């Protein structure tokens, strides 16, 4: 499992840290972190993550719109939406645009494991 790479996109450093720790403890390799849409797109060109944890609310971007751009640049990446926003219509739109799973914050290590298992990785 250590060859599965992950990118974490969240504007909150503590959320990136918590998620990164959970992923590393499960044997995943975090290859990039980003706190904004601009940073995400820059780093996405430099790394090739298998999985992207994507927050919906970012300071300079809407995660759903960002998902559309990510899907065009890295169509093989499996995106997991991860947000405190639980509005069904927004989550459904993200899933319709190609996100594979949705995890609501605050999350537990078990919820992250469930999301990863749903991807088969």
CATH number at residue 32: 3.40.50.2300
Q: b/e string for 48-65 if b means 16 or more Cβ within 10 A?
A: ebbbbbbbbebeebebbe
> What pLDDT digit, counting tens, does each position of 13-60 carry?
999 999 999 999 999 999 999 999 999 999 998 899 999 999 999 999
In the structure, what pLDDT confidence band is assigned to residue 87 with cuts at 50, 70 and 90? confident
> What pLDDT digit, counting tens, does each position of 3-12 carry?
899 999 999 9
- Total structural domains within the chain: 1
What is the domain extent for residue 43? 5-119
| Model confidence, pTM | 0.94
In the structure, what pLDDT confidence band is assigned to residue 86 with cuts at 50, 70 and 90? confident
Inter-CA distances, 28 with 23, 76, 93, 109, 112, Å: 5, 17, 28, 13, 12
């Amino acid at each position: 499992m250590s060859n599965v790479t992950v990118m974490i996109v969240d504007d909150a450093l503590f959320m990136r840290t918590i998620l990164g720790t959970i992923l590393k403890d499960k044997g995943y390799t975090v290859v990039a972190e980003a706190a904004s849409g601009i940073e995400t797109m820059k780093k996405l060109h430099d790394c090739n993550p298998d999985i992207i944890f994507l927050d919906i609310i970012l300071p300079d971007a809407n995660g759903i719109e960002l998902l559309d751009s990510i899907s065009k640049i890295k169509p093989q990446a499996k995106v997991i939406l991860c947000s405190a926003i639980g509005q069904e219509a927004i989550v459904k739109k993200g899933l319709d645009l190609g996100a594979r799973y949705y995890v609501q914050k605050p999350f537990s290590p078990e919820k992250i494991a469930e999301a990863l298992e749903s991807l088969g990785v």
